[in-house]
């Protein structure tokens, strides 16, 4: 195995694990489970950011066609979504972890829909999954030589990737809206009952 692939594979694996873990968070029905998984997710996100930054900095500091340069070139496309992860997702996951901790006093405490809606927010999962997709694509491109850079392959691959990202974003938005509506439903019902009592 080439040395630049030995560097890229762990980075892609960490981002892929973080994306899969973030996707499953809104499905959890217990506050303690959300607390535990969001803690794992926070660790994976910080590890992914540290590994990505280390590879990119090593690529900047090296000269020529060194393995560090090739690894950094493969991760260039993942740098922008990784910045979004650092700016938005880390704060959201940390708040989710703290919020779940406040509710997880008993093992069977159900997770309220508001907490699950926060876990389903597009800025929680989408940047992670886009970073994972681009890191995996960069790793595949780095391992495939020049075959994946041919015009007949690059165009359809970019189109398929963009459509996949759009579909994932729409899915996150719909799930977040559905959970937000469920979180607001008891409040609306209690407000209606209060108005009926005052009439």
Phi, psi angle pair for 109, to nearest 5°: -65, 120
So what's the pLDDT on residue 185?
A: 67
132-170 burial by CB neighbour count: b if 16+ within 10 A, else e? bbbbbbbbebbeeeeeeeeeeeeeeeeeeeeeebeebee
So what's the pLDDT on residue 87?
A: 94
Q: pLDDT tens digit string along 9-18?
A: 999 999 999 9
So what's the pLDDT on residue 10?
A: 92
User: Alpha-carbon distance 15 to 27, whole Å?
Assistant: 20
Q: Are 107 and 32 in contact (CB under 8 A)?
A: yes
User: Alpha-carbon distance 152 to 157, whole Å?
Assistant: 9
Question: Which regions in the chain score pLDDT beneath 70?
Answer: 1-2, 64, 145-154, 185-199
User: Alpha-carbon distance 93 to 18, whole Å?
Assistant: 11
So what's the pLDDT on residue 147?
A: 57
Q: pLDDT tens digit string along 76-99?
A: 888 999 999 999 999 999 999 998
So what's the pLDDT on residue 103?
A: 83
- pTM greater than the 0.85 cutoff: no
Chain position carrying tokens 């209690």: 190
So what's the pLDDT on residue 181?
A: 85
Hey, what are 3's tokens?
């040395």
Chain position carrying tokens 């090296």: 62
Hey, what are 60's tokens?
């900047």
Q: Which helix (H) or strand (E) holds 126?
A: helix 122-143
User: Alpha-carbon distance 7 to 139, whole Å?
Assistant: 10
Q: Are 35 and 51 in contact (CB under 8 A)?
A: no
Q: Are 16 and 52 in contact (CB under 8 A)?
A: no
């Amino acid at each position: 195995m080439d040395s630049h692939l030995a560097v890229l594979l762990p980075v892609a694996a960490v981002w892929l694990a973080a994306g899969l873990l973030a996707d499953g968070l809104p499905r959890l029905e217990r506050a303690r489970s959300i607390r535990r998984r969001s803690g794992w997710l926070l660790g994976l996100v910080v590890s992914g950011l540290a590994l990505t930054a280390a590879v990119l900095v090593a690529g900047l500091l090296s000269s020529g066609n060194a393995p560090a340069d090739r690894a950094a070139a493969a991760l260039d496309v993942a740098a922008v979504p990784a910045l979004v992860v650092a700016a938005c997702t880390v704060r959201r996951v940390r708040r989710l972890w703290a919020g779940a901790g406040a509710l997880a006093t008993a093992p069977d405490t159900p997770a309220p829909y508001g907490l699950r809606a926060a876990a389903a927010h597009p800025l929680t999962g989408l940047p992670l999954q886009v970073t994972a997709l681009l890191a995996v694509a960069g790793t595949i491109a780095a391992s495939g030589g020049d075959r994946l850079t041919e015009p007949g392959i690059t165009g359809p691959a970019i189109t398929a990737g963009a459509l996949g990202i759009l579909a994932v974003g729409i899915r996150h938005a719909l799930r977040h809206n559905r959970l937000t509506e469920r979180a607001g439903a008891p409040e609306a019902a209690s407000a209606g009952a209060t108005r009926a009592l005052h009439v």
